[in-house]
Amino acid sequence: MKYPKFTDGCHSLLCKFLTKEVFEELKDRKTSNGFTLSKAINSGVVNEDSGIGVYAGDEESYTLFAPLFDPIIKEYHGFGTDDMHVSNFDPKDLDISNPDPEGKFILSTRIRVGRNLADFPLGTIISKTQRDKVESLVSDTLKSLKGELKGSYYPLKGMSKDVKEILIKDHFLFKEGDRFLEAAGLNRDWPDGRGIYHNDDKTFLVWINEEDELRIISMQQGGDIKEVFTRLSKAVTLIEQKASFMKTKHLGYITSCPTNLGTAMRASVHIKLPILSRKMDIFEEIIKENHLQIRGIHGEHSQDESGIFDISNKRRLGINEVQCAYDLFNGVKKLIEKESSL
Rounded-to-integer distance, Cα 162 and Cα 177, Å: 17
Q: Which stretch binds ligand DAR (CB under 6 A): 47-55, 98-106, 237-245, 267-275?
A: 47-55
For position 112 contacting ligand ADP by CB under 6 A, the verdict is yes
Q: Which of 124, 210, 231, 257 is catalytic?
A: 257
CB of 75 to ligand DAR, least distance (A): 12
Q: In this complex, which beta carbon is closest to ligand ADP, that of residue 8 or of residue 102? A: 102
Rounded-to-integer distance, Cα 320 and Cα 61, Å: 23
Q: In this complex, which beta carbon is closest to ligand ADP, that of residue 33 or of residue 76? A: 76
Of 39, 110, 247, 314, which lies in the binding site for ligand ADP, with binding defined by CB under 6 A? Answer: 110
Give which of ligand DAR, ligand ADP, none residue 180 binds (C-beta under 5 to 8 Å, depending on kind): ligand DAR
CB of 76 to ligand DAR, least distance (A): 9
188 classed as catalytic: no
Give which of ligand DAR, ligand ADP, none residue 325 binds (C-beta under 5 to 8 Å, depending on kind): none
Give which of ligand DAR, ligand ADP, none residue 110 binds (C-beta under 5 to 8 Å, depending on kind): ligand ADP
Q: Which residues does residue 312 pair with via DSSP β-bridges, in sequence order?
A: 268, 293
Q: In this complex, which beta carbon is closest to ligand DAR, that of residue 105 or of residue 180? A: 180
Of 50, 116, 263, 290, which lies in the binding site for ligand DAR, with binding defined by CB under 6 A? Answer: 50
Interface of this chain with ligand DAR, residues 71 to 90, rule: CB under 6 A: none
Interface of this chain with ligand DAR, residues 166 to 185, rule: CB under 6 A: 180
Give which of ligand DAR, ligand ADP, none residue 310 binds (C-beta under 5 to 8 Å, depending on kind): ligand ADP
Q: Max CA-CA distance within the chain?
A: 58
179 classed as catalytic: no
* Cis peptide preceding 121, ω within 30 of 0: no
- Report, as residue numbers or ranges, the catalytic residues: 112, 211, 215, 257, 259, 266, 295, 300
